[in-house]
């Protein structure tokens, strides 16, 4: 399985944008880029996913590099409730399971 | 709409005891999954099921068993509990298995084996 590399931790100030990077240099043409986050003492929750084009939803934006070897999850205005571990995951289009790495722990300072 | 419900929330087992972690979903999802999460680590897939009567092993299946007799329920069985099985267990479900379907997770069961 193609792997992802994320920083262990990042900090942000409240109400500022946050850019969470993910490297996936061995991504294959059929891999989709998924992001999940895990709030303290909760199960992970889906954030966003994409293949080649940038994607937006109510939670976040996903910017995908043209060569698809990296991507960035963008939180436009971080709130204290966004403090969580963020996971970048590659999923083959027909894959029946999803493999999590260690993720990036985001701290949001008031 | 309850989503994915896991019981119990907490449990302490003695070495060698057995137990079943319950998971039920009310979203009519075909796919269900069991993960474990050790402290400070990401989630690891134990078993998954693509529909009633069908189960498959994930990354770390040893020491666990599952069954899927109904669409709604996917219990995880620990037969001979060991300290290495101390972890937080998450159940998840999805409508389909491919990239288009996000997972819905339960709130977890925290298991300690002493």
Q: What are the two backbone dihedrals, phi and then psi, of residue A82, each rounded to the nearest 5 degrees?
A: -85, -5
The CA distance from A89 to A99, in Å, is 7
Comparing B98 with B28, the larger pLDDT belongs to B28
Q: B42, A46: Cβ pair inside 8 Å? A: no
Angle, alpha carbons A56-B1-B98 (nearest 5°): 45
B3-58 pLDDT tens trace? 999 999 999 999 999 999 999 999 999 999 999 999 888 899 999 999 999 999 99
| Per-residue confidence (pLDDT) for residue B35, from 0 to 100 | 96
Which residues of chain A neighbour B48 with C-beta distances below 8 Å? 96-97
Residues of A in contact with B44 (CB under 8 A): 100
């Amino acid at each position: 399985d193609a792997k992802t590399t994320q920083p262990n931790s990042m900090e942000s100030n409240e109400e500022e944008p946050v850019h969470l990077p993910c490297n996936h240099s061995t991504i294959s043409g059929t891999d989709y880029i998924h992001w999940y986050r895990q709030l303290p003492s909760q199960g992970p929750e889906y954030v966003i996913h994409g293949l080649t084009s940038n994607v937006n939803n109510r939670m976040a934006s996903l910017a995908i590099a043209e060569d698809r070897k990296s991507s960035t999850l963008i939180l436009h205005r971080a709130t204290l409730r966004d403090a969580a571990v963020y996971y970048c995951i590659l999923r083959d289009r027909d894959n029946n399971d999803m493999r999590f790495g260690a993720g990036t722990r985001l701290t949001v300072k008031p | 709409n309850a989503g994915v419900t896991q019981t119990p929330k907490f449990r302490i087992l003695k070495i060698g005891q057995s137990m079943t972690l319950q998971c039920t979903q009310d979203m009519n999802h075909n796919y269900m999954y069991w993960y474990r999460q050790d402290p400070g680590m990401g989630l690891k897939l134990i078993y998954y099921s693509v529909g009633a009567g069908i189960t498959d092993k994930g990354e770390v299946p040893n020491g666990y068993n599952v069954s899927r007799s109904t669409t709604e329920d996917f219990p995880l069985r620990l037969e001979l509990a060991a300290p290495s099985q101390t972890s937080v267990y998450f159940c998840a479900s999805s409508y389909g298995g491919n990239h288009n379907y996000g997972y819905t997770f339960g709130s977890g069961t925290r298991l300690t084996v002493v």
